[in-house]
Copies of this chain bind each other. A is one copy, B any other.
Amino acid sequence: MSLRIGILGATGFGGGELLRLLSMHPAAEVVSVTSRSAAGQPVGSVHPHLEKVWDVKFEETISKEVDLVFSSLPHGESGAAIESVLTATPGVSVIDLSGDLRLKDLDSHRKHYSHSPDLATLRSSAVYGLSELNGEAIKDASLVANPGCLATAMILSLLPFAGLPLRSVHIHGATGSSGSGKEPKASTHHPVRHANFLAYKVLEHQHVPEVLECLQAASVKVDDLPFVAHSLPVSRGILNTAFVELERPMVQSEVEALFAGVYQDKPFVRLKGSKPAEIENVVGSNFCDISVVAKGTQVVVHSAIDNLVKGMAGQAIQNMNLMFGLPETAGLWTGGWRPV
């Protein structure tokens, strides 16, 4: 028996990635995909890499009975669309890939998602879908707010420090161009992105508030998180570099033990010891590779994910698996794309 899946707004990279990953899932079938612009067209005309693999057509709204809806609509549209779905189909499960339902704090939500409606009730009912942290709550949830891609990498890097006094944390994030979405724009124009590297949203990225909400709930002692995002000349992949300064020195083995304690039973986290995490090994997969180097009070944590998989569609499917009592790894148990 297969789960019946609907996807709202399936023409973008997030929707395409859900479709690609679900083609390998043993217990899920995509029965409906929506798009305003592409209604009536087959999936393969918008996602030529998926031609033949899925022969469903885009439609205006979900017309079939479904067990679960993924929304990959953009911020500002997704929350309201989900509210409509829930009104029309009470009891359906929903996973939102946008940022509309992530923040619990209303002021923070209004500040960082100024184009999104408040949706106070809906937001408060959504479980933050960081699978490794909130797995138990996700199992019982019917509405999950899937984390941001950079947020996922940041949180997984810092969770093991829960409870420890920290002097400071500074984070450098670097991400591929697919994170900017499917619409061509100046920052993703190939001639000037092909061999470039630069920062954006310096000290003001919208993923920081969800990271702080999540870490503080998990007792990680950070109240300020200086974070700078950077644009890599690759399509996929995030490498997150966290400089954690401890109050008291720790040796390498202690820090490795901290991480092992938190992640040893988590299937999609691979602990690399001091061998640096590489995006090459995780791109295409749902893995998060984490490496740590400790020296006195300085600890450097690297985490690598695919922004469209563990940072988006893959983690959404991982959450789906949890919500429906499937093996957490169903349809996702494959490696990265090295060499890519």
Contacts and interface: CB of A to CB of B under 8 A. Distances in A.
Interface of A: 13, 16, 19-20, 23-24, 26, 47-53, 167-168, 170, 172, 174, 176-178, 180, 182-186, 188-200, 202-203, 224, 226, 228, 230, 232-237, 239, 241, 243, 245, 267, 270, 272, 274, 276-285, 287, 291, 293, 295, 298, 300, 302, 304, 308, 333-340
Nearest to A295: B203
A282 B196 CA distance: 10
8 contacts: A51-B335, A190-B233, A192-B235, A194-B339, A200-B276, A202-B293, A228-B241, A235-B340
A24 B285 CA distance: 12
Nearest to A279: B197
B197 A333 contact: no
Given A176-B191, A191-B235, A243-B170, A279 B198 contact: yes
Nearest to A243: B170
A275 to B, nearest CB: 8
A194 B338 CA distance: 10
A333 B23 contact: yes
Contacts of A53: 333-335
Given A198-B277, A199-B241, A199-B300, 13 more contacts: A13-B339, A16-B338, A23-B333, A24-B24, A51-B335, A170-B243, A172-B172, A178-B339, A184-B185, A193-B194, A196-B280, A197-B234, A203-B295
